[in-house]
Structure 1
Amino acid sequence: MTNTLWGIHMKEINSLAPIQGGFIGIGWPDMGDLSVIPANREAFKARLQETHPHSKPGAIPVQAGVLFRFICEMAVGDVVIYPSKPDRMVNIGVVEGDYAYVPQVDPTYPHRRLVKWLKHIPRADFSQSALHEIGSAISLFQVTSHAEEFLAAMQGQSTGAEDVDEESVEEVSTQVEESTEDFIIKRLKSKLSDFEFEKFIAHLLTCMGYHARVTQKSADGGIDVIAHKDELGFEPPIIKVQCKQTLDTVGRPKVQELHGAVETGEHGLFVTLGSFSAEARTFERSKPNLRLIDSNDLISLIYSHYSQFDPRYQMLLPLKRTYIPGPSLTVAD
């Protein structure tokens, strides 16, 4: 079968309405009739910028791509995969109609195509990696990696996913974890100034049980935060913290510079959004009063103390506790 397989999400509509009505649809009602727009991506981007002037520049090409694919690339005979969340079903059908603009039917989802739904299959019948593919954040996308699995299901054949593939589960779990970690680092990099990042680290240390304060920007001597256990800061150990809001690799010279500012009885802490070179790590191991915190360590600390964060930092990093598949354990474990 050479027809394209499409995945689609319709989050702002009654999830069962497309099944009952035999259609698929997308939003962007302000765009008007898409059929009058010249059939090229640049024209769709221009129209989107005109109707949505406050959209982020990076979102325009993605959204325009969805609209363009829906009207210009999708064709009668193509296969559509629509996961409906309330009943946890994967609905598979075939496109039967050309693009239609029907704002009188539903002003929220006025761009539609008729679909003949063929199969309604429980999500549990598919592999975890296949479910991950159709969980794309984009409204309309091509399904390629697991096309054979979905086609087999549409034809009533076994998908081969009755037994959960351990490697598949591990892959999906890793992808979820990495996506969350990327999100955290990007937010800390793009939403905070250097000084605000220092205040964030001071707040994290406060959540860990320390009294922490940010030094004066004009004369910090390379020390950005000072932390201590007692309220007045007289009792040892005193922790001098340097914060680097960089994604680059921090080398040994910068680490040595921090350690040079650490006096007897004090400790040094270097925090970065990036990583440390092998030479820097070797230097750390030779200094018992020095600790290096890279992006992975920082994320672990954020997870451990997130519940204690002030609301402003929970808004900066909007996370929720959830469960994802983990490695199987044996009785011996």
Structure 2
Amino acid sequence: MSKMWMIRADGGSLYEEFREKGIAAIGWAQIAPHAKVGMTRKELVELYLTVEPATKEKTAISGASQVWRFMNEVAIGDGVVTYSPANRTYLIGKMTGDCEFKADLADSGMALTRTVAWQEKEVERDSLSDATKTSLGSTLTVFVVAEFAMQELLGEATGKPMQPTPEVLEEQVEADPLSGMEALALERIKDLVSKLDWAEMQDLIAGILRAMGYKTQVSPAGSDRGKDIIASPDGFGFEHPRIIVEVKHRKGQMGTKEIRSFLGGRHPDDRGLYVSTGGFSKEAYYEADRASVPLTLWTSDHIVRALIDHYEDTDTETKRLVPLKRTYLPA
């Protein structure tokens, strides 16, 4: 495998669709029906500006460039990787087909597709070196993965982990160099959160809930009978809503079995919050949706976004767990 591409449509939210359908795909539905293999970058930019005349030229250049690479530069036999921000896992495969326009998938953000043979084994982000994590952090939808990062990903996927010496990374130029700062910051904060131990994670969730206006009871170490945290307006659980929180801080997705077990001990007036830094299976989301007790599922992505939203109101103990500083960027 001489080259590997990161294909991450819609910020990684199409991860499961990629795997289930055996494809890698990108959006740009406004130009996809008219884009043809063999068109030059300039022709694609002109097409973009014709279809979307209000688009800034730099945005059109960036978008058209990624469409051009997906259509013309990505080749059958190349490696491909995609990322799930929710589960913090990478899926690795090999390109097996040419670029096709799929009108039926356009509304789902997968207008242009290529077939992929995905490997069954996923790679945990936490298993990778800091250098590889950084190199995979670009917010571009389509970009070439650095050689050393490709080797580390393949090593993890085949059970032969390696920590190569990083090479000088090829600069990835975006339409706006600041446009990806928020996404990059989110991933870096997730990396910090993932290093917390279980007790610290429990304290972090409790701290976020307190910053949201609740008072919390945190269960001591040991058997918690499915209740790691109880959050309520009065701190006793007498006033509604009474939120029962389960915290799972470990690798691997939670499935229907875990969700059903959690729901089995709930009172009809309870509200549930299930936290899993390893993410949830699609079946787990279905189970939560049809639960008789209102239940919210939080992944690492939800934890970090809630922490950022309420960081100014968190107490000193919570800030000590994940120290952050505010940075201002032009709007």
Bucket of the pairwise TM-score, normalised by the shorter protein: 0.3 to 0.5
What's the TM-score, normalizing by structure 1? 0.46
With the length of structure 2 as denominator, give the TM-score of the two structures: 0.47
